[in-house]
Structure 1
Amino acid sequence: MIKRILFFVSLIIPFTILQASIVILNGLTHNYKVENGQVYKGKIAIENTDNKPQNVKIFLQDFMYQSDGTISYTSPHTNEKTNTDWIRLNTNFITLKAKEKTEIYYEIIIPNTGINAGSYWSVIMVEPVEDVKPSDSKQGVNITSIIRYAIQVITDYDAEKIKPDLKFESVRIEKEEGRQTVKIAIANKGNIYCKPTAVIEIYNRKTGQKVGTFSSQAMGLLPKTSKSYHIDINTIPPGQYNAVIIATDEDENAFALNVELEVKND
């Protein structure tokens, strides 16, 4: 058994990990308010930061995520709210010269009928094409680590007719990088994309005195997905507290939850 373990380790050591050099210049979320029968145009600006040419393939996938960190990239039509059939890419493959910038164009063609109010989405995957190349070393090969980018294309149809429906899934306090952090799992049970912020107001349980208000970063939340919103409360001393958590989206739709918190020394 010992000999097998040592042999396994000796195989791993010579491998070298390389990273792709493609970067996206104009954001990873493209959001459109759409109408029946209309055509919308978009682009993805990319750059090759390396000193050598880079091949890149471009393709569509469906996309979901949950607050436990699960992210799913699946083939088109696996999500019932997919818009992959509406999106036309101008290319599926490009070659960028060293230090070159370029733009990938796409069209979104909205059907005339058969759309219910709400958000539809997919992702445009931008993936460098790398080969496994022999190493100059006699001991192994270089393995390239592929860094893919997923650009969300979200189309909101008749968005003004519906509102988000946010639900709190869980609230817990954990140490994150040595700091006390409230982690609030929020799910979007509705049919429209929104970008909520979580705010927590903390009160002394004995006196009722307010001891602080803290907020998270705003994060986009697709329908039927959830995310964990992190709030730093490291300035709050150990003790027993009552708290009000409020999730508010960009249109000031608000959802509240009363909780009890215990901040520990650990």
Structure 2
Amino acid sequence: MIKRIFLFIFFLSQISFLYASITILNGLTHTYKVENGTIYKGKIEIENTGKKTQNVKLFLQDFSYQSDGTISYTTPHTNNRTNVDWITLNTNQLTLKAKEKKEVYYEITIPNNILEPGSYWSVIMVEPVEDIKPNDNKEGVNITSIVRYAIQIITDYDAEKAKPNLIFENIKIDKVEGKQTANIAVANKGNLYCKPSVTIEIYNHKTAEKIGVFSSQSMGLLPQTSKTFQINIDKIVPDKYNAIILSTDENENAFALNVELDLKND
């Protein structure tokens, strides 16, 4: 066993870690209300926070996510509401010197023949490119840690005729970082992007007295996707309760559900 530990430590000593250091300065979600036949312009602000020159490539992908934590980046046209064909980048690659900032510009050309109102989207991937060069002075393996960024480009067409349709998929009470937490999975079955938050109102099971109101952070929710909203309810003592769970988006569309909660000591 000692020999195996020694060999493992020796192996680690032969590995050098390289980290790409870029960041996006102007947000990871860009939304537009669009009209037929119109051109919209935007930009991505990128900074190299590292100490050496960094090459970066940019490309388009389709994108979706589900409440179980699954995130899918797929080839263009796998999403039937993709807008990849509408987006043109002014460059697909750039080089940033240490501490340098640059802007990449894009245009969104809305076609004249959109059939259905609602949200269309894709992501612009921003990915560091590492030049892997053999090192004659050091033995071992180079491991590169790369952080990719996905910038959502969401275009809402004829939004007045579209709407989100939020439903509660699942409600679980779990311990998250040692605190009792309501994990509420919400799906958007509509055709419009929204940013809902979830509120839970808890009432005494016997007297109907309101015990408290607790809320989640708001999160963006694309059509036909779902996310889990977490609400800290650690202050509630174990017992049986009645509760109203309410999901409300930024346009005050509200969706409610009555449930019974059985909070236990485990």
Q: What's the TM-score, normalizing by structure 1?
A: 0.94
Name the residue aligned to 1:121.
Answer: 121
The 10-residue stretch of structure 1 (217-226 or 13-22) with the greater mean CA deviation from structure 2: 13-22
Aligned to 1:56: 56
Counterpart residue number, 1:223: 223
Tell me what 1:36 maps to: 36
Partner of 2:254: 254
Shift of 1:264: 1.9
Q: Specify the SS of the correspondent of 2:213.
A: strand
Report what 2:160 is aligned to: 160
**Which consecutive unaligned segments of at least 5 residues does structure 2 have?**
none
Aligned length: 266
Calculate percent identity across the aligned residue pairs. Answer: 69
What amino acid maps onto 1:207 in structure 2?
T
Matches within 5 A, 1:43-192: 43-134=43-134, 138-192=138-192
Cα RMSD after superposing both structures: 2.1
Q: Does the 8 A contact of 1:245 with 1:257 survive in 2?
A: yes
Q: Summarize the Cα distance change of 1:158–1:136 in structure 2 as closer, same or farther, 3 Å threshold.
A: same
* Alignment deviations for residues 5-24 of structure 1 (CA, whole Å, 9 cap, x no partner): 98678545632333211000
Q: Partner residue of 1:214?
A: 214
Secondary structure in structure 2 of the residue aligned to 1:152: strand
* DSSP-derived class of the 2:220 partner: coil
Q: Which amino acid aligns with 1:64?
A: S
Compute the TM-score of the two structures, normalised by the length of structure 2.
0.94
Q: How far apart in 2 are the matches of 1:203 and 1:195? A: 27
Amino acid at match of 2:249: D
Is the 2:36–2:114 contact (alpha carbons within 8 Å) kept by the matching residues of 1?
A: no
Amino acid at match of 2:192: I
What amino acid does structure 2 have at the position aligned with 1:191?
A: N
CA distance in 1, matches of 2:16, 2:236: 45
In the TM superposition, what whole-angstrom CA distance separates every residue of 1:214-243 from its partner, at most 9, and x where no partner exists?
Answer: 000000000000000000111111111111
What amino acid sits opposite 1:232 in the alignment?
A: N
